Structure 1
């Protein structure tokens, strides 16, 4: 998996590659906890999953192959002999799931750690001599086409190519920085000196990576990834979470968390306090300062964890916790002194998670714009915010401003709460079904608008989507399309996730030995017209090509994804002022007569093809490729930006009570500046203006169906 694909998976919140290890030989858990987790997960999958696969030899082979691929995606850690050894378990995993003791997991990790230690001890010598980049050579980036090394000599050759490429990338960056220096008084480093620096960078990167793989994760982390491999083989969205991972998931969904009120950064191999939020828990202690290095983190009175070399996300997991609990930070101050500070966690909010609005003044029209990054919901007993309520409040603000129409932006919105999206659709229609849900036994039902015929907003509506709009975003866009309530504008299709997950704890709340949680796929959802969004997504009414649309990361590109199907259509009454879609399309095409959108589509397709190509190890070929890629990417980004900024202003006052006023103002200012040059938002605004002029907006529609649901 290449870098850009990893970025995709992170942006979507989908489980990507997690290579996990720890020092020391891993022994079978004395308390049998891993056995209990695996058996419980197996029972849950077999009995409750929407479309359970049989636990047999074929399923077992899939798990062995998938887990090895998770551990070693580049095929540079295991040898062919290791794969032969692990393949002995091809017909054993199914029996382990059914009740046999866990065995494959321990064997795989024993081999994995052994190979990592060998690599750590032998790879340093590969960086002792200078690399030469004149030979015509390349490195395979499609790892499915790469074979495992037959022996350690061949393995070192693979690592040499990897380290050579890292060095080449850094060398070219250093050369570019050097060539930017215009002063004649500054001595410029030679290519040979820069190559030394680049190799040193490659060594630091390798040492840090190997140290993390060997020392910075726990046995539970490794086992969590193994169980997730099993659940993801059922379907891509059935996930297993250890307790700390479940907490992070809830934080993302609710938009709130319990922490210390500080921005965390990195410096000199340590996690550090980048800035302390005024009024927050850390600020209240008077003992935490900007620039403090975090040496250790302890949960209450438990032994502290040394976090030297930790990545920021892993450190943040330790810093955050439950409401009112205490975290102790061992801090190294600027004067060299070390101090341990106890901080009581308080509720904080991720303001960037919540809905917000602005007003676009283009021509003689005033357009309301609402940005919703996630379908968030309260977690627990009514704690947290509801996205439907927040969007309703933003709509009221816009109505107070007497806007001519509304744009709802769901780009990059990966979904969230099913019930929140149903309530949100209800803000735009008087009544009727919103989405159908089908269980694994074939029984289906539907969720409907429950606001007694009320419609908060009845004006013209445009919904923006892209290839990252998934799940609940697709439910909303599909309902708007089916009711002919508005126009959907964006990528050729959305992500294509048409499944519903529910969190199932593996142990009771009274059980002190928390076994974790499974987010289990138990249902599929369908449009009210009967079609599933699974694999196919929602097809936009007006096409605006997405930057990453040609990359293979959608649901349809995952081999374990569930199939598309359809069920019966429900009776529903379309909107009484339907948009004239053909009129709007003609106006859009006439406006884009210069072919900007076509050029964007051509460019993004070319960039995607380059992402699949082999990486060059010849410096001249590498520079030529990178120059071409950068030029095409820069041209595409420029095409996506307007030459002249739109007139956009924030709606009302910020509702944030959790950040200093200047911090909130800075975030809003940067957000507005981005929107002002967003060509896609401009096109959505023009489409909305076309909609206002459309002769098709009338009170006449086809007769409503007479049958009942």
Structure 2
């Protein structure tokens, strides 16, 4: 949920000049060596750089004192052991003497506390491996009357090794118990009907603290049919332990891939979080992922990789990428070796996933040769020429739908992306303009712009997108610490779309999404519909490459710092910080009562207000207020929305229930009771709005040649056809139509059917 802006380049140069005055602080030569080895000099340099840049460049620098130290201490310990299954109380007692010393250690570049905590964690993790293997080596006794509390925040640390082992036992037992009950239910369904019910309704394996949304096994049965074979309780119990052991093996395999630098990054981010929640250190690999995220593209082969034990597996080919075009690499293939062109191949079995990725990625036009074990067991060498890979899921997309004799367009924007390195590259502003133009040519009567779950991105693209819908004027106000405000304008008098407009938001619409929604709302250019309020992030971050402050290249890549440098404000003067944007039309949300916004995050910056900008409200929506009233009345009378609201309250009440019985009979009884209540809310997932969504002709031509894209679009259209929120947004477009637009009459019988379902 970050707003990263090219607008900041001018301010960044000022900051750079300030920092460069002290560049000699960081110009000494570093020790060379393996980048995964401990390098205290590099760590101290990193702390010095971060402290200096944050104090000079942050919008509101934190005071580095004992209170600061306590916050760093708390965040770091919690990050190392969130479920309190590694550290003992004696470890915490030993760490506690540093609780108010970390501010001094930071100033003096002292790594004593980090080294102690890191070394102890490595020791406790090795002990944890032995514990889980021992716990899973023998069957659980599910007849014992005991329970487990998953509220880790309030749970105490284990005082002894025996107590810690018992905590592991109960934690694993809960996981295997929920899995065991699932398996028994699936087989019981087959035994009763001959059909595995899970094929129709996917069974969700419940993790610690999660709730259950499915039927559970009838306790009078203890055997069932699965794949033509009856399995006993003993066999099923063994299967669950084996499955749990595999999951924990994979977890510890992932942990094994983390080196000291990774854990030091955790420590650094415990420091940066004291400034505000959106100031973060980006280690080199993380910086690279961030760049890909914000631009939506990378240079490589176009494949998603995942770790599978010691192997690197192809999990997905990115549509349109060189690996996808080559048709030789497949999902499920295991990468054994990687060679750069005709050079000697390097064995990557057992290598860290990030290191494998580094070897496979590379500049456009270069060759990489992969030795892969195919899914059929054969081993082959595949040559791929790297290219620019666009991650399609990053980009805007649109659909059209016919409703009541009118045609509407729906545009989904997952993030406000931009390519900072290439001004001619794709960005959200240009792409939304293209989608609007295509929808106009298709003859739509209204547009829904969906920014639900859009966490933000480039501010310049927000200005461009908002400018598509107004003649000209201010879009957002920016304020730096100790400076006068600056207003960003749309200066193009051209209006790309002057018809009915609805912006869809939810509680995860953040940052740039909130700027767009706020501008459209302040102008009364369109109607904002969605959750009660958006996320509430009203701050601007700038990414600073730390490598430019060091003259010696022997230090290695230092990564980057993303720091809060400014706050943005609506054109009416109010901040979106904490408060977000309140929807004109509030639709019930299943997660409305859970704490998930900026206002619920520790150390968030405060709300404030500045003078409003000079702007003129849009006057061409004659039935604007009536459309809002009509929608509120529909929602209030709609049984489906009432069910969602009731479900939200139930979910909120369930969120405080953290104690689970580990006795199988009591566990099943409790879950049966929960499922009995949850069945009431099943119609929420089964809802269909009876609308048919299709791609525009230009995209249909591409889909005819791209099966992967066709499948993705069909899944999206299916999701839209089940989305009651999109349906109501289209209803609002209906109500916004000018009086001269004639809508097709709806048969009375159809109206009654719709009311009966709503």
Kindly tell me: are residues 268 and 238 of structure 1, through their superposed partners in 2, closer, same or farther at Cα, counting changes over 3 Å?
closer
Distance 1:325 1:88 in 2: 54
TM-score, normalization: structure 2?
0.82
TM superposition shift of 1:625? 4.3
The answer to which of 668-677 and 161-170 deviates more is: 668-677
TM superposition shift of 1:81? 1.2
1:150 correspondence with 2:159: yes
The answer to which of 381-390 and 527-536 deviates more is: 381-390
Distance 1:659 1:501 in 2: 41
Distance 2:280 2:622 in 1: 41
The answer to which of 458-467 and 398-407 deviates more is: 398-407
Distance 2:116 2:453 in 1: 40
The answer to which of 65-74 and 568-577 deviates more is: 568-577
Kindly tell me: are residues 268 and 45 of structure 1, through their superposed partners in 2, closer, same or farther at Cα, counting changes over 3 Å?
closer
Distance 1:677 1:492 in 2: 21
TM superposition shift of 1:596? 2.3
Which of residues 246, 250, 255 is equivalent to 1:204?
246
Corresponding residue number in structure 2 for 1:478: 518
1:679 correspondence with 2:724: yes
Distance 1:634 1:377 in 2: 44
The answer to which of 458-467 and 319-328 deviates more is: 319-328
Kindly tell me: are residues 637 and 247 of structure 1, through their superposed partners in 2, closer, same or farther at Cα, counting changes over 3 Å?
farther
TM superposition shift of 1:122? 3.2
Kindly tell me: are residues 492 and 444 of structure 1, through their superposed partners in 2, closer, same or farther at Cα, counting changes over 3 Å?
same
Q: Deviation digits for residues 67-92 of structure 1, max 9, x if unmatched?
A: 01001001111111111222222233
1:96 correspondence with 2:105: yes
SS at match of 1:549: coil
TM superposition shift of 1:279? 7.1
> Is the 1:212–1:309 Cα contact (8 Å) retained in structure 2?
no
Corresponding residue number in structure 2 for 1:597: 641
1:638 correspondence with 2:683: yes
Q: How many residues align?
A: 670
Q: Deviation digits for residues 331-364 of structure 1, max 9, x if unmatched?
A: 2245655556564431111112111111121112
Q: Which consecutive residues of structure 1, in runs of 5 or more, have no partner in the other structure?
A: 1-8, 11-23, 696-709
SS at match of 1:164: helix
Corresponding residue number in structure 2 for 1:218: 259
Distance 2:110 2:455 in 1: 37
1:378 correspondence with 2:419: yes
Relative contact order (alpha carbons < 8 A, sep ≥ 6): 1 or 2 greater? 2
1:43-192 paired onto structure 2 within 5 Å: 43-182=52-191, 183=194, 186-192=228-234
Kindly tell me: are residues 234 and 198 of structure 1, through their superposed partners in 2, closer, same or farther at Cα, counting changes over 3 Å?
same
Corresponding residue number in structure 1 for 2:23: none
1:391 correspondence with 2:432: yes
Distance 2:164 2:586 in 1: 47
TM superposition shift of 1:267? 6.2
Corresponding residue number in structure 2 for 1:699: none
SS at match of 1:271: strand
> Is the 1:410–1:469 Cα contact (8 Å) retained in structure 2?
yes
Distance 2:654 2:168 in 1: 23
Which of residues 580, 587, 592 is equivalent to 1:549?
592
Which of residues 387, 393, 396 is equivalent to 1:355?
396
TM superposition shift of 1:456? 1.1
TM superposition shift of 1:369? 1.3
Kindly tell me: are residues 660 and 403 of structure 1, through their superposed partners in 2, closer, same or farther at Cα, counting changes over 3 Å?
closer
TM superposition shift of 1:416? 0.5
SS at match of 2:153: helix
Corresponding residue number in structure 1 for 2:441: 400
The answer to which of 156-165 and 122-131 deviates more is: 122-131
The answer to which of 181-190 and 168-177 deviates more is: 181-190
> Is the 2:105–2:111 Cα contact (8 Å) retained in structure 1?
yes
Which of residues 606, 612, 619 is equivalent to 2:650?
606
Which of residues 614, 634, 637 is equivalent to 1:571?
614
TM superposition shift of 1:655? 9.0
1:484-523 paired onto structure 2 within 5 Å: 484-508=524-548, 512=553, 513-523=556-566
Distance 2:67 2:704 in 1: 53
